């Protein structure tokens, strides 16, 4: 997959607060889909769809263990997204120095 | 606007490579919509829609100067987005130390 497509998919996956919450929960350790749902009012079906988006973006991996699907953080460490933002912010600072009124 | 909504809108604005290209171009200085279009095959109408999404996210501001609409980078420096990613990555590192197999 071309790099811009990877970034499109990563930023799109991050553009929903439920998906960001799932990532935050998994940063504390692996969890089943039911554990991720917790006391929230979201249906398991809705939650599974969010997990699938995260899985397609490489941010989460899931594995069937017995009758439970266990989710954990995936191989994508948001390196590309963090790098894009860092480069943009550095350029922006430079632009402000060069065009103070910009 | 609640913080999670700001993040939703920022990451959503960044999820399209044309919009990221516009931000990169504007990091070199202000530009009109026509200048942003350059030799690309995208219609001006299509480009204006992307600029509008960026404007709604606070990433770009536009100003009518005579018959030209000038675009420049807006007040949102992606601080919130960069912070969210930094915190997530730090937690993820911690998780890996605590759950080496995770």
CB contact under 8 A, B7 and A20: yes
Sheet architecture: strand order including A60-65 = A31-32, A68-73, A60-65
Answer yes or no: is the ipTM higher than 0.95. no
Kindly report, residue by residue over A15-50, the tens digit of the pLDDT.
999 999 999 999 988 999 989 988 777 888 999 999
pTM to 2 decimal places: 0.90
A43 touches chain B (CB under 8 A): no
A68 touches chain B (CB under 8 A): no
Q: Which of A32, A28, A18 is nearest to A65 (CA)?
A: A32
Using an 8 Å CB-CB cutoff, list chain B residues near A89.
77-78, 82
Q: Which of A3, A8, A86 to mutate to test the interface with B (most CBs of B within 10 A)?
A: A8
Q: What is the arithmetic mean of pLDDT over B20-37?
A: 92
- Residue A30 has what pLDDT? 92
Backbone angles phi, psi at A22, to 5 degrees: -60, -45
Residue A20: Cβ-neighbour burial (10 angstroms; 0-12, 13-18, 19+):
buried
């Amino acid at each position: 997959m071309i790099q811009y497509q990877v970034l499109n998919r990563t930023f799109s996956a991050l553009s929903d607060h439920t998906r960001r919450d799932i990532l935050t929960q998994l940063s504390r350790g692996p969890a089943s889909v039911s554990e991720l749902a917790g006391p929230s009012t979201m249906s398991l079906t809705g939650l599974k769809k969010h997990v699938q988006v995260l899985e397609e973006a490489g941010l989460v991996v899931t594995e069937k263990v017995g009758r439970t699907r266990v989710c954990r953080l995936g191989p994508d460490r948001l390196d590309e997204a963090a790098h894009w933002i860092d480069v943009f912010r550095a350029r922006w600072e430079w632009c402000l120095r060069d065009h103070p009124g910009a």
